[in-house]
Amino acid sequence: MSETQKRPAVVLLSGGMDSATVLAIAREQGFDCHALSMHYGQRHSAELDAARKVAVALGAVRHEVVSLDLSHLFHGPHGSALTDTGIEVPTSPAAAGTIPVTYVPARNTIMLSIALGWAEVIGATDIFFGANAVDYSGYPDCRPAYVNAYTTLANLATKAGVEGQSMKIHAPIIDLSKADIVKRGMELGVNFGMTVSCYQADAEGRACGKCDACRLRRQGFLDAGTIDPTRYRDA
C-alpha cells in the first residue's frame, strides 16, 4: 500500500447517532470507511434509510446492507422487543442490574462476525462499532470486557490474525456520555437530524419520544446544551 492510499476499515453503521459519530471518527483517523448495516428484522427499520443517508454524507467509500432476518428466530419468552412485535417496547428504564427486553440476543457478536469476514476480504485489519458503556441500556455486548474478548477471538479465528496482521476492534465512544457523543459528532460535522435512534420510529423516521433510546438521546442533547434535531411524532 502506497503512502497516498488510505487503510480500509469496516464500520458498523446502524443509522443512529452513536454509529454515525463512530463513522465520522474513523474518517477523521484517515480510514477509507466501508460502512456495514444489518437488516435483522428490527421493528425500527427506518434506521436503515438513515444509515444510507449518513454513509453518503460522511463519505463512506462503500455502504452495504446485509439482510439477516432474525425475527422468526427471536420470538419467545427470551426474545427481543426489537424483533418481536408481540413484546412491548418499554417506556421506562429497566430496573438496576437487569437487562432490558430491547436487548437482541448476541446482536453485536453476529454483526461483528459479518464485519470481520468482510474485513478479511477487503484487506482491512480495523473494525469500528458504536458500543457505549456509559449511557447505554444495560446490554452485555456493549462493555469493554466484551470488546477485549472479541478482539482476542478475531485474532484467533482469522487467517489475517494467524498470519500476524493484528485485527483491531475499535469502540471509540465506549467511555463517552451521550452528551459527549453529541459534542464529538458535531465537531466532526455529523448531521444528527439524519440519524434515527428510536426503537419504534415510524416509516418516516419520526421518533416516539418515549422509549429508552429516545430518553437517552433527548437527554444527551439537553446536557450538551444544543438543539435536539430529532423529529418526534408528538411534535
List, as residue ranges, the binding site.
Answer: 13-23, 198, 208, 211, 214
Q: Which residues contact 2 (CB under 8 A, 6 or more apart)?
A: none
| Binding residue positions for ATP | 13-23
Question: What is the CB-side half-sphere exposure of residue 109 using CA atoms within 13 A?
Answer: 12
Question: What residue numbers does the annotated binding site for Zn(2+) cover?
Answer: 198, 208, 211, 214
Angle between helices 17-28 and 46-57 (to 10 degrees): 20
Alpha-carbon distance 122 to 110, whole Å? 19
Run of H or E including 114: helix 107-122
CA 206/CA 234 separation, integer angstroms: 9
